A = this chain, B = another copy of it.
Amino acid sequence: MRISTKGDYATRALQDLALHYDEGPIPIEAIAQRQVLPARYLEQLLLTLKRAGVLASKRGVNGGYYLAKPPREVTLGQVLRAVDGPIAPIFCVSEENLREHCSQETTCALRDVWAEVRDAVSAIVDHTTLADICDRIRAKTKQRITYQI
């Protein structure tokens, strides 16, 4: 039940871009350094995120990537589905793949359980937006500062 580094890296990158929303395009290299991610690898992740409509980009000097929509409108679910596939833990409960049926469906109750799992995970990632992430980080940071003083 792991998410891949793609999902990990992509969400970290988006978290970073959300924190720097309104600062114009941000180059891959800047994100990679702040989040400590391999730049050339991140490159292709951001590209697929762009193709998925989550990101937009600007080339050349002062170019970079930026969110195509405000942080409030981007969910983790969109990001995860874009870089990894569907959320479903097993093919026979995938939102796509509706044609392909499991041979044992009639005598198998596991399918229902996997569907529950899928729905539970979806419920979380589809309701958590980048804005929520930012809020949590700011809350954390504030708390840390308060205690430090």
Q: CB within 8 Å of B: which residues of A?
A: 1-3, 8, 11-12, 15, 35-36, 76, 80, 84, 87-90, 103-104, 106-110, 112-114, 116-117, 120-121, 123-125, 128, 132-134, 136-137, 140-141, 144
Contacts and interface: CB of A to CB of B under 8 A. Distances in A.
Secondary structure class of chain A's binding surface, majority of residues: helix
A1 to B, nearest CB: 5
A16 to B, nearest CB: 9
Contacts of A103: 36
A53 B114 CA distance: 24
Specify how many copies of this chain sit in the oligomer. Answer: 2
B15 A90 contact: no
Contacts of A87: 1
Q: Which 3 pairs between the two chains have the least Cβ-Cβ distance?
A: A109-B136, A120-B120, A109-B133
A108 B12 contact: yes
Contacts of A1: 1-3, 80, 84, 87-89, 121
